[in-house]
């Protein structure tokens, strides 16, 4: 936590606007606790899973609480379960590799009786946010990068009606519960090569080909030519909006 400021950053609201406040290490509380789970009469595997699940479901108070928690369950002298919980505001999938790498470096060093020999970090996340704000500019400035992007999407989505009326086997819930399912699809190498070929022929990426195909599919299922969908990616969120009649490459933000 001393090395990574984002793990000890809280977000109090000042005049209704959240701000970053990096806590000193002495102020930061990561909820560290070593739990003795060695008694087999009290700690079955199910009880251990339930206790871990309770830690994982912790709801963070981001205004006052660090967005990172750690707890260690001692099962036997040689079996320990380390549970790390990190709020999405402090990290994402790309953050896990450096976090785990630093954790392993520290573990090996401490096991040998040494302090971890990390190289100092040249920047922290707050430095990145300042750089990003300088690069994108103010959203109220219509000439800034961010301002132009917002204007573009406001224009593109101005007449979009919203929810696609897809044929379903049950009615839509009044409030989305996000309890979706999963469908596993076998994707042969031959089919992937065909997608690559189409992409090369149209000077596009395979992602553009797949998003165009998804747009056409959703258009046919919903009976509308106005289709929009979002795609989560690392570092940004891409939104595709197009008429199914004109599957041209979308603009990305």
Res 242: pLDDT: 52
pLDDT digit string, tens, across residues 174-222: 888 878 788 999 999 999 999 999 999 999 999 999 999 999 999 999 9
Residue 241 predicted with pLDDT over 70: no
Residue 251 predicted with pLDDT over 50: no
Buried b (16+ CB within 10 A) or exposed e, 58-89: eebebeebbbbbbbebebeeeeeeebbbbbee
Q: Give me the percent of the chain exceeding a pLDDT of 90.
A: 60
192 vs 226, higher pLDDT: 192
Task: Write down the pTM of the prediction.
Answer: 0.69
Residue 240 predicted with pLDDT over 70: no
Q: Which domains does the chain have, with CATH numbers?
A: 5-122 (3.30.559.10), 188-253 (no CATH)
Which helix (H) or strand (E) element contains residue 234? none
Spatial CB neighbours of 241, under 8 Å, sequence gap ≥ 6: 153, 156, 157, 160, 227, 228, 250
Q: In a 10 Å sphere around its CB, with 0-12 CB exposed, 13-18 middle and 19+ buried, how is residue 239 labelled? A: middle
Residue 249 predicted with pLDDT over 90: no
Residue 250 predicted with pLDDT over 50: no
Residue 88 predicted with pLDDT over 50: yes
């Amino acid at each position: 936590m001393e090395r990574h400021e984002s793990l000890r950053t809280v977000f109090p609201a000042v005049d209704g606007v959240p701000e970053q406040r990096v806590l000193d290490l002495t102020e930061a509380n990561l909820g560290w606790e070593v739990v003795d789970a060695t008694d087999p009469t009290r700690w079955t595997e199910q009880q251990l899973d339930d206790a871990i699940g309770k830690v994982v479901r912790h709801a963070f108070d981001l205004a006052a609480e660090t967005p990172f928690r750690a707890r260690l369950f001692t099962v036997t002298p040689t079996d320990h379960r380390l549970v790390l919980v990190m709020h999405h505001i402090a990290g994402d999938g790309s953050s896990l590799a450096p976090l785990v790498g630093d954790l392993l470096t520290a573990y090996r060093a401490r096991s040998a009786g040494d302090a971890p020999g990390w190289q100092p970090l040249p920047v922290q996340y707050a430095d990145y946010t300042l750089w990003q704000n300088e690069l994108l500019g103010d959203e109220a400035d219509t000439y800034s990068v961010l301002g132009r992007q917002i204007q573009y999407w406001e224009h593109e989505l101005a007449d979009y009606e919203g929810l696609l009326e897809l044929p379903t086997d049950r009615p839509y819930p009044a409030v989305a519960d996000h309890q979706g399912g999963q469908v596993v699809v076998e994707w042969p190498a031959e089919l992937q090569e065909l997608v690559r070929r189409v992409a090369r022929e149209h000077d596009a990426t395979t992602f553009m080909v797949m998003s165009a195909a998804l747009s056409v599919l959703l258009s046919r299922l919903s009976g509308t030519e106005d289709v929009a969908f979002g795609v989560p990616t690392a570092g940004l969120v891409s939104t595709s909006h197009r008429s199914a009649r004109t599957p041209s490459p979308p603009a990305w933000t």
